[in-house]
Amino acid sequence: MRKIYTLVVLVLGIVIIFVSFVRASLEINTQEDNEGKLRGDILEVEIEKSNGERIIEVYRIPQVRMLSTNIFYSIKEIRDYLWLQFSRDKFEKVKMAMFLADKKLAESVVLNNKGQKAKALKSGEKAVDKLEYAWTMLGGERDNRSIDLRNKVRRAVIIYDQVIRKMGGKGVDKNKYEEIENKIKTFKEKEEKFNLG
């Protein structure tokens, strides 16, 4: 009985330390992202504007330190989930969801460059899902902060679309690729309907 009690106290202590660590890292991460310190990698993507003009869009993404191939990746996933849950208000949650989406996109790019196409597509799909989650959290609000964040999501979805299109081709699961492209297309259509409404 005493061993069970000791084990319960030990597990509870570890959980408390982990949650404290997650909350502290959330504060540091939020501050550093606001200061632009976390987005050290740059994506340059060619985009066609509505008038047909082609431009190079520069998009900053977070640096990737751990990929889904790492044995400790599931701990990172739990931490990311808790970051989202511990974010203070709706706007902080939206920003955090966008940051986590950008991290998934960065993972996708690195995995694709390493030739791990299936894992790259999976990370790309998770990035699109997180971005859509951020957009959904904004609801139907049209205040200045919501509009600013919605514009950032709109820009990101255009970049994500182009990055994922580059992953298409030889060695890629065509069905998975088309599924992700359809998600992006549906997301863009919902966004356009909202903008017209």
Residues 123, 107: contact at Cβ < 8 Å? yes
Classify residue 28: in a domain, yes or no: no
Classify residue 144: in a domain, yes or no: yes
CA gap 45, 31 in Å, rounded: 27
Lowest mean per-residue pLDDT among 68-77, 98-107, 141-150, 170-179: 170-179
Classify residue 93: in a domain, yes or no: yes
83 lies in which domain range? 39-196
Classify residue 97: in a domain, yes or no: yes
CA gap 107, 130 in Å, rounded: 14
pLDDT single digits (tens) 114-123: 989 889 999 9
In this model, does residue 191 exceed pLDDT 70? yes
Classify residue 49: in a domain, yes or no: yes
Classify residue 155: in a domain, yes or no: yes
CA gap 150, 35 in Å, rounded: 20
Classify residue 11: in a domain, yes or no: no
Classify residue 17: in a domain, yes or no: no
Band (128; pLDDT cuts 50, 70, 90): very high
Residue 92 has which token pair?
A: 């902080």
pLDDT single digits (tens) 48-103: 777 888 888 888 898 888 998 899 999 899 889 988 988 888 899 999 999 999 99
Residue 105 has which token pair?
A: 């996109």
> Which 3 state secondary structure label does DSSP give 169?
coil
Give the mean pLDDT of the chain: 84
Number of structural domains (the chain) is: 1
Band (108; pLDDT cuts 50, 70, 90): very high
